[in-house]
Chains A and B, each alone.
Chain A
Amino acid sequence: MHKGRIFNIMKYSIHDGPGIRTTVFFKGCPLQCQWCHNPEGQRFDQELIYRPDKCIGCGQCLSICPSKAVEIIQGQAHYFRDKCLACGECCKVCPTGVRELAAKGMSVKDVLTEIEKDLIFYDESGGGVTFSGGEALMQADFLMEILKECRKKEIQTAVETAGFVKIETLRKISPYVDLFLYDLKLMDSSKHQNFTGVPNELILDNLRWLSENHPKVIVRVAIIPGINDGEDDLEKLGEFVSGLKRVKEIHCLPYHKAGLDKYQRLGREYGLSGLNSPNDERMSEIAQKLEQFGIEVKIGG
């Protein structure tokens, strides 16, 4: 059976749509935003999350690694990522959780089993399931199967997307989605290219299409200080969103550094060190600015 690549399933998710929700995180994303707080969701390929601080030097990984990516130096296991195949053999024997595979292969049934565990909370709160990532639409066929099952079982669904997908994908999937959480990063395409690795024309076109063809779309913008919160950026954002047909709601999410440690555990550099979270006053300033365009603005998800 076809399996999806999922890197996390979070219960009691209360900021990704209405009510109490479960958020399913799909691995792999066409964007590489420098501020991404889920870097383990960026690449589609399997990778190893490595937390050397938990190592007790038991050496079990040493004997099992097929590609000799581990050496014990002075009682501590050292890991050489360039040799690693991310086969996960070491994760099975490691007693402390120093090593963990970033993603799990899950069947539609596996994912549904997890989603259905919290039905009672969705019922009580008007919640449901949110598919996020990474980019959930990169595994569109797999997502589609789950969405169809959710529809059968009357489970409310939301898809969070950055929108860098073929329009056909959106066309195909949108009838099965109750709510789109549509992430906009930057309005200026060349800046977009700089900070996320791709231009934004496709993203904006797709959002226009969606706003004309889907009943419920909420725009979400992570406010990254100094990058997308300038007067000009906000103005363009307000203009664009107020020009959309049915979209009248923006959620502004303050940038946070909670994902910083994850970069280290993946052996990557964090491109934006030194940025601070915008404070409450700044966030309400931004909200006020956007509200001038006749848009409903909410701070947080």
Chain B
Amino acid sequence: MNQRVTKLRQQSLETEAFISAERAELITEYYRSAGNKSVPVQRALAFKYLLEHKEICINEDELIVGERGPAPKATYTYPELCCHSLDDLDILNSRPKISFKVSPEVRKAYEERIIPYWQNNSMRDLIFEEMSEDWKASYDAGIFTEFMEQRAPGHTVLDDKIYHLGFRDFIAKIDEHLSRLDFLNDTEAYNKQEELKAMGICAQAIISFAERHAKKALELACSEANPLRKKELERIAEVCSHVPANAPRDFWEALQAYWFVHLGVITELNTWDAFSPGRLDQHLFPFYQRGIDEGTLNEEQARELLQCFWVKFNNQPAPPKVGVTAAESGTYTDFANINSGGLKADGSNGVNDVTYLVLDVIDEMRLLQPSSNIQLSKKNPDRFLKRAARIIRKGWGQPSLFNADTVVEELLRQGKLIEDARQGGTSGCVETGAFGKESYILTGYFNLPKIFELVLHNGLDPRTGQQLGIETGDPRSFKGFEELFAAFKKQLHYFMDIKVKGSNIIERLYATYMPSPFLSLLIDDCIAKGKDYNDGGARYNTNYVQGVGLGSLTDILSGIKYHVFDHKNLTMDQLLDALNANFLGHEAVRQLLVNKTPHFGNDQDYADDVMVDIFNAYYSEVNGRPNTKGGFYRINMLPTTCHVYFGSVIGASAEGRRSGEPLSEGISPVQGMDLMGPTAVIKSAAKLDHARTGGTLLNLKFTPQVLEGEEGLNKLAQLVRSYFKLGGHHIQFNVVSAKTLRAAQAEPEKYRDLIVRVAGYSDYFCDLSEALQEEIITRTEHTEF
């Protein structure tokens, strides 16, 4: 890493996140004075207003320019989606973890202008108004969460189009579609016209935004004393006046073009779920190769530009939530996740020279953002996996590993074209999508063990005493395990209806009131259809419901099947008494459940078959339900950090878990219950049909000594290849000793830079809540004896 990058990186690491009211003020100003326009045009003009009036920031010595806010780590808020209260701001300012500084001026702006305008007037307010009593009760009880109550549907990834087309080309395309509108026969023509007009306004806005950067760079160049920097600033000005108006001509312009697009997307709305460049290595390769061939670029320059690009991601903390509590700290990561490797559209090996360069950059930069992953196909060479494994072994949680062949299979199963599938990949945590062509939003996490807790209480929530679910019968009266499982399926069906009904309404609310014309013009086939991204404009429209607690529920059901029904060591009554007492005075029952139950994750069919039954029940319940955008609901199995929250709303459960403790995460076994080592975990996890999901998450923790030497590295690679041969979707490794983590807990100040894999993303260990820290420590260490 050269001096420039070292400095930029250090600044990014040391600058504290703070709330900027710039966007909130501008958007409020705009709406106060907005005239009578169609909703899409209104949104486009708001976007234009933001980009025209926001402060332009070019940091000292940087090569890739543009910040979302007025400065690095300035964090925007989106009051039209959800408006922070003064209490929220005070908590954000003072909480010890994931804090955001709030200046008195920002607080004042909120108090005097922003809150008065948006209070009871945001999307969040609208959503809660439209949700049924059943939905609200389920939401409050922690049956499910809802992503769109705090942020807009984004959650998509770009393909290669911005590297071939400039925004002037987009405008020409939009104009062409406008001119072809058929107002005599197409009843949708007017709506299409408004949407296309809106896209055109946004395209022009991003061009002008880049020009403002060009102008600023020239101004800076004029007053710059250092001749080298002066030249750089002139070059920056040239780049910004060329892209994204036109297609990029070289490596530098390609990166800058993407960065403007990224800023556009995350300024338009809070897509706090992962807008990413996708196959960066493949997109950049032609520019890289041409530069090298023509002698206009060398490897070091390319590396430096990439590193400057990396810093830009890290400068943009994720916008914080509203309704925050000091305990719920969230994360700074905005879930941008860069893919490397995988396949090309023609199905051949996608690894190239830039892939290895990107891996170097990941290794050297060690930043929280952007997150990184490799897409590993059977067609990719082993050296690619080995290079990634060398970084993984260092133990800071990146890159994670995805099975490119299974990802393609998943996309094909959902009916996508094979080229689109091969050019797809994963984003966010582990979610599969067709890049540049799909809206694949997450609608919320779904608490599977909570559903079962209701089954054990005949629909009553023991935490509140409220009759929340339907009556599925007194479990004491069940004759066999099948009856119990049938009750679970009934209860699951009841709540999934509530969830999906809610999501379908929310989807319409966004389609109607909160279109995103800028994002739309980037995703096929929004322009061609004249339809917004939020209204089904994308070629593919998928809604995911993320199942949480698969490992926990498996062990719960396996325990009951084994001890109550098969071996009759316990009666249902005894079990319920023990659970209701949180095992107090029933320690022998708890010990029996913990020690004498077949657990998921040990490659034993007794428990693993139960897991497959749960998975299939969940799959059948969700998969294929229609959404309102012409697409379907699908499942994926990932928790982010929701398994901690979901555990906190469930009393003691039959895998020996005490009241309030976290659930298992992803498709990983219950923490500490995988006793047969990593091959058994992998075998168990591979028993579910990953191709029927849009992503699963498996976490293995190793201590460093297991992975020492070339042999340790080879064995890591072999474990990965084996899991992928079995059809596994994703695997990630935490390589750190429990001792180190304990030391970090004791003296956090010494371990500020300790990044660990949480669940589909990495985070600073010291920023995690204590519950999550404890959970990461408890995750089984697969040490070799």
Contacts and interface: CB of A to CB of B under 8 A. Distances in A.
Nearest to B676: A11
Contacts of B711: 14
A73 interface: no
B290 interface: no
Given A56-B587, A96-B595, A121 B676 contact: no
Nearest to A13: B784
The A contact surface, by secondary structure, is: loop
A124 B722 contact: yes
Nearest to A114: B603
A124 B725 contact: yes
B588 A20 contact: no
B591 interface: yes
A12 interface: yes
A56 B725 CA distance: 44
B581 interface: no
B681 to A, nearest CB: 9
A60 interface: yes
B718 A56 contact: no
Contacts of B589: 95
Contacts of A95: 588-589, 591-592, 595-596
B782 interface: yes
Interface in A96-154: 96-97, 117-118, 120-121, 123-125
B279 to A, nearest CB: 27
A204 interface: no
Q: Give the contact-size bracket for chain A.
A: 20 to 34
Contact of B722 (A10, A14, A120, A258): A120
B722 A121 contact: yes
Contact of B715 (A10, A20, A58, A60): A20
Given A58-B588, A60-B588, A14 B715 contact: yes
A10 to B, nearest CB: 7
B680 interface: yes
A121 B591 contact: no
Interface string A79-95: 00000000000000001
Contacts of B726: 120
Nearest to B782: A12
Given A19-B718, A56-B587, A11 B677 contact: yes
Contact of B785 (A60, A121, A125, A258): A258
B178 to A, nearest CB: 56
B215 interface: no
A96 B587 CA distance: 10
A15 interface: yes
A10 B675 CA distance: 10
A117 B726 CA distance: 12
Contacts of B706: 14
Given A95-B595, A258-B785, A12 B721 contact: no
A50 B679 CA distance: 28
B486 interface: no
B350 interface: no
Given A60-B588, A258-B785, A124 B718 contact: yes
B389 to A, nearest CB: 14
Interface string A241-262: 0000000000000000010000
A128 to B, nearest CB: 13
Given A12-B677, A97-B595, 4 more contacts: A11-B603, A14-B711, A14-B715, A124-B721
Interface of A: 10-15, 19-20, 56, 58, 60, 95-97, 117-118, 120-121, 123-125, 258
20 contacts: A10-B785, A11-B603, A11-B676, A11-B680, A13-B784, A14-B711, A14-B784, A20-B679, A20-B719, A58-B588, A58-B591, A95-B595, A95-B596, A97-B595, A117-B683, A120-B722, A121-B719, A124-B718, A124-B721, A124-B725
